[in-house]
Structure 1
Amino acid sequence: MENNLMELWSLLSVTAPGLFASPTAFTDYFRKPIESGSAPERLATLRRRIKPVMLRRTKQQVAVDLPPKQEQAMVLDLSSKHRKIYDTRLARERQKVLGLLGDWEKNRFQVFRSLSMLRQLSLHAALVDSSHNAVNSAKVDYLAEQLPALVDEGHSSLVFSQFTGFLDIVRAHLEAAGIPYSYLDGSMTAKQRDAAIRRFTSGVTQVFLISLKAGGFGLNLTEADYCFVCDPWWNPAAEAQAVDRAHRIGQQRPVNVYRLVSADTIEERVVRLQDRKRALFDAVVDDGEMFGSALNAEDIREMLA
């Protein structure tokens, strides 16, 4: 369950037909009051209703010998030039998006296009305008410092981003430094994918650059003991799945996870949104699955405030 509470209703409509009358009734009586925080008693009622039909076993319960996982958010300041570019574009996009929110359903695609652009701009200015290629990126500088040091110390790292353009920039820095790496994105064939994985798992490379959507599921990469999540995703479950490529049964070393966040950008708002949604839906299943509830117009306004 990754997107919203209606996924819970869909599952229960199959596994426990009749538990809830209809999706409309579930939305009106449970989803809306719970998500707005206006009726805590509805949350308690929902938990009582689903308890007899929900059995959950966490990784911590079934893999008691799994080494610890340390997670840390690294909040990085944009360079002065990067900051000026970001703030200028933010002012323009904020005005445009707030105007589009009056008809949220009709303008959803345009809104998300603007948000995606701001998220890319938080990573590197050149992702939005190639003429800014010489503008320093705090995240690229951080990775360019950390990855070679970790390789020298015998560690292996996974680097996740949703934007392949950003991974391409990191690739160029690794090549300039003479550091071998593996690379995986959704455009690769099965043969190319398998070859990239083998190079990493066999120790030929100690850095694996992975597109979050391509590598978030189905990979066993316990050779890695460091993970860098370069940009926050709307849905925290997607990030957790990516990190669990390394932190899973078979891992022999503690896993260190660094989430890179650009200070005073839309990324900080996305992280706050993640935290709020995570807390809400964890409460529904008693510290259970993470739901990255679908964005609504009010969420967008908050991120652009």
Structure 2
Amino acid sequence: LTSLKQVCNHPALFLKEDAQAAAHGPAARSGKLALLDELLDTLLAEDGSALVFTQYVGMARLITAHLAARAVPVELLHGGTPVAEREHLVDRFQSGETPVLVLSLKAAGTGLNLTRAGHVVHFDRWWNPAVEEQATDRAYRIGQTQPVQVHRLITEGTVEDRIAEMLEAKRALADAILGSGEASLTELTDRELSDLVSLRRSE
């Protein structure tokens, strides 16, 4: 499954190609990378800033090298980034000096205040939506004065598409039961209600 998810991101990630070499190849090798280029071109033309999250450090390096080759001001923050350098990266992003910051998902877990970001891009989906939401929250810290748009890139017709559907179904059910109390159960479809109360065989 991990390999399939990597292929959805970029063949070079799965093939373990050198990030610098792969970054200078055509973006057409990855539909996601081509879409990211289009998205960033639009928001940078409007003086916007973006956080780009991926769960793979290798993909983060590839994205960073690709954007740098296109002369997009970008920096990379991952779990191995020293604390002092992390602070400098955050300061440069918050000041607008670096409008695009690429982060590995786990590195974005704690202590980051990135309120300059008007856009959050999830380049790939995490199995646990709570981890993904925690990363998104880096842009929603105290001091945020602008709306934040969240973009999730999904490769259609692949395992990634199925994961997205599964996460959405689970989130909708959780919201229905936990979000608004028992009254929301009346808004479930017959099939959803049946799935909710059906006895399942133990594995």
Picking from 67, 70, 76, the partner of 1:177 is 70
Structure 2 SS opposite 1:252: coil
Where does residue 147 of structure 2 map in the other structure? 254
Contact 2:7 2:13 in 1 (8 A): yes
Matched, 1:201 2:94: yes
Where does residue 161 of structure 1 map in the other structure? 54
Matched, 1:119 2:5: yes
- Relative contact order (alpha carbons < 8 A, sep ≥ 6): 1 or 2 greater? 1
Q: Report the TM-score when normalising by structure 1.
A: 0.53
- The ranges of structure 1 where at least 4 consecutive aligned residues each deviate by more than 2 angstroms after the TM superposition are 130-135, 279-288
Structure 2 counterparts to residues 183-262 of structure 1, below 5 A: 183-262=76-155
CA distance in 1 between partners of 2:4 and 2:180 (Å) = 32
Where does residue 38 of structure 2 map in the other structure? 145
CA distance in 2 between partners of 1:245 and 1:176 (Å) = 27
Contact 1:182 1:199 in 2 (8 A): no
Q: Which has the larger radius of gyration?
A: 1
* 1:53-96 deviation line (CA, Å, top 9, x unaligned): xxxxxxxxxxxxxxxxxxxxxxxxxxxxxxxxxxxxxxxxxxxx
Report deviation, 1:279.
2.8
Structure 1: stretches of 5+ with no match in the other structure: 1-114, 289-305
CA distance in 2 between partners of 1:223 and 1:287 (Å) = 32
Structure 2 counterparts to residues 91-102 of structure 1, below 5 A: none
AA at the equivalent of 2:154: V
CA distance in 2 between partners of 1:178 and 1:199 (Å) = 17
Aligned length: 174
CA distance in 1 between partners of 2:87 and 2:45 (Å) = 26
Q: Which deviates more, 258-267 or 165-174? A: 165-174
Structure 2: stretches of 5+ with no match in the other structure: 182-203
Report deviation, 1:131.
6.2
% identity of equivalent residues: 43
* 1:88-107 deviation line (CA, Å, top 9, x unaligned): xxxxxxxxxxxxxxxxxxxx
CA distance in 2 between partners of 1:128 and 1:234 (Å) = 18
Where does residue 27 of structure 1 map in the other structure? none
Structure 2 SS opposite 1:208: strand
Report deviation, 1:174.
1.5
AA at the equivalent of 1:189: P
| RMSD (Å) for aligned C-alpha atoms | 2.0
